[in-house]
Structure 1
């Protein structure tokens, strides 16, 4: 029951903050604060993706068999080089699948 209350509280606070910005409560914010809000999505995505790519069972997984790392690096390179997010996602997914399929065959 406490988990449900915790989730409901987090959802309520998140919703209240978003509604405040929708109805203009963020108009009085300083310009420097508004600029820093543009970095929030990047920080949140980094906090989600980096542990998922680099950690396995609580320890760093930096060996050659880490298909998640290969896919993430390929995605980053494609998006950086071609400036096309969908191509990066597709290319990273393709590298991930091929790495998982070929890694046991070629690198054992």
Structure 2
């Protein structure tokens, strides 16, 4: 099998573009002492990103606000969220989320 250099260079370039934005900030910030407000601010970044991703999936359907009475994902999120708060178990949360979305999609498909 012959390796084409243009394909190899594209793959190497993509790897570099993916690798550098992740490694450079880590290398620079590991040698610096961040102020307390910066550490507090960075503490909320993962929560904010997750909330934005989940919120968009729950409330939007094809770019528009989904109707609440037929929003299966939102209805499945309620017991999932309650289990996550009550048990603090990732496995339990995932199982309840998957089971509730399966049951609700089945019920809405036969209605």
The two structures have a TM-score, normalised by structure 2, of 0.74
Tell me which structure has the larger Cα radius of gyration: 2
Q: Which residue of 2 aligns with 1:25?
A: 31
- Structure 1 residue 65: deviation in Å? 2.6
Number of equivalences: 100
Distance 1:81 1:53, change over 3 A: same
Structure 1 unaligned runs (5+)?
Answer: none
Larger relative contact order (CA 8 Å, sep ≥ 6): 1
What's the RMSD between the two structures over aligned residues? 2.3
Which deviations, in whole Å up to 9, do the C-alpha atoms of 1:17-64 show, x marking residues without a partner? 12323xx323x2111211221111101111111111211111111333
The whole-number CA distance in structure 2 between the counterparts of 1:48 and 1:7 is: 25
Structure 2 unaligned runs (5+)?
Answer: 1-10
The two structures have a TM-score, normalised by structure 1, of 0.76
Q: Which residue of 1 aligns with 2:103?
A: 98
Q: Would you identify which runs of 4 or more consecutive aligned residues in structure 1 move more than 6 Å? A: 4-7
